[in-house]
Amino acid sequence: MPKITLIGAGSAVFATQILRDILATPELGGGELALIDIDPERLELTRSMAERLAAASSGDWSVRASTRREELLGDSDYLINMIEVAGLANVRSDYEIPLKYGVDQCIGDTSGPGGLFKALRTLPAWIDILHDAEELAPGCLVLNYANPMSISALCGLRASRLPVAGLCHSVQHTSAQLAVYLELPYPELHFRCAGINHLAWFTELSREGQDLYPLLRQRARLPEVYEQDPVRFELMFEFGAFVTESSGHVSEYLPYFRKRADLRERYLRSGYRGESGYYANNWPAWREQSDEQIRQVLNGEEPFPLSRGIEYAADIIQAIETNRPAVVYANVLNAGCIDNLPASGVVEVACLVDANGVQPARFGALPEHLAALIRPHMAFHELVVQAMLERDREKALRALMLDPLTAAACSLAEIRAMFDEMVAAQRAYLPDFLK
């Protein structure tokens, strides 16, 4: 029976979703669930939910929780990482300081200034966790959900000997949304998708061998459809493929939509469709609301059925433990999966999973214009990871200089000034080499 360890388990709603998926998988039979978080109050919420779900499951599951990872990491078969390092303390400066320099972010947690500084706060703790896992659980598979996803996965692969796969839900959510836009039953939609996390592209959309892109372009001309996803439809019109991340988030990855007021007015909408500061302005409240949701479930005020969701972690564990093959999309070392992207970087591709583990499938070459949109971000990832492992402040700064949106909005001198100001604002949460 597997031992499954969640670190950052105080992320109560998301951790509970992962636990629910695992416990709604009777084929696993049971095992041990180890929950780790440095926040004892939020950890207790997740522990209480885990015990309730375990009691409702058909398996023989035990639950343990601790604020000290060395107590629970030992002999883990799976380590699921979902840590958030000092996010609440820095979410305002991640957004407001770049905005002073003209870099307008909607989410700002995986690319650009916000993504860079989230990485600089997160990676030291991530590396320490991996080194502890190497010693205490040398046979474990690491499944990373923490953002910034691509940087975290790449750093994990460079900084440890453990197998690391990064997991997201953008492929699942977007493919389901495409079926809605196309007015098709989701099971009838066939697709191929590849790229990097939040910037992967659906290069094929078909139904029974028929190309669905002409229909999607036709549907996207309808105002009631277009207004749901303006940026992504614009990208599809111009580049010929639909991208995996929301209009608001993907608008931060590219220089076309957020660098001028007239462009923001034309293409951006409320919420995840591009609202300025949407994450910074709402995430603290979402965090409180998620904790309250768990309390309501525990008090019997809200239902929480034991059923599988769309996340891939349970699919991977089930496929490995039962040797029943599954296909997931994961962030893995490229190593030839996508021919025209750097082999040493991390890409998001379809992977076969069975008793042999997570096995990336070869995609081939992306259309060159799509690969060209991705490469600057892979250079950004590479420089951030090098900066962290080599303790090189200038490489961290130069990563920001290469970010497409930042470069579109700022001069080099302005980028340096922004970087210095963000370091000063977040000094207490950053590694010493940046100070």
**Residues recognised as catalytic:** 169
CA distance 98 to 419: 9
SS3 194: strand
Report DSSP letters for 366-397, one per residue. PPHHHHHHHHHHHHHHHHHHHHHHHT-HHHHH
CA distance 415 to 200: 27
CA distance 250 to 199: 7
Closest CA to 248 of 261, 239, 238, 258: 258
CA distance 35 to 48: 11
The angle, 0 to 180 degrees and rounded to 10, between the axes of the packed helices 393-402 and 368-390 is: 160
CA distance 182 to 428: 49
Closest CA to 267 of 280, 252, 277: 252
Instruction: Name residue 205's beta-bridge partners.
Output: 191
**426: which 2 tokens?**
């977040």
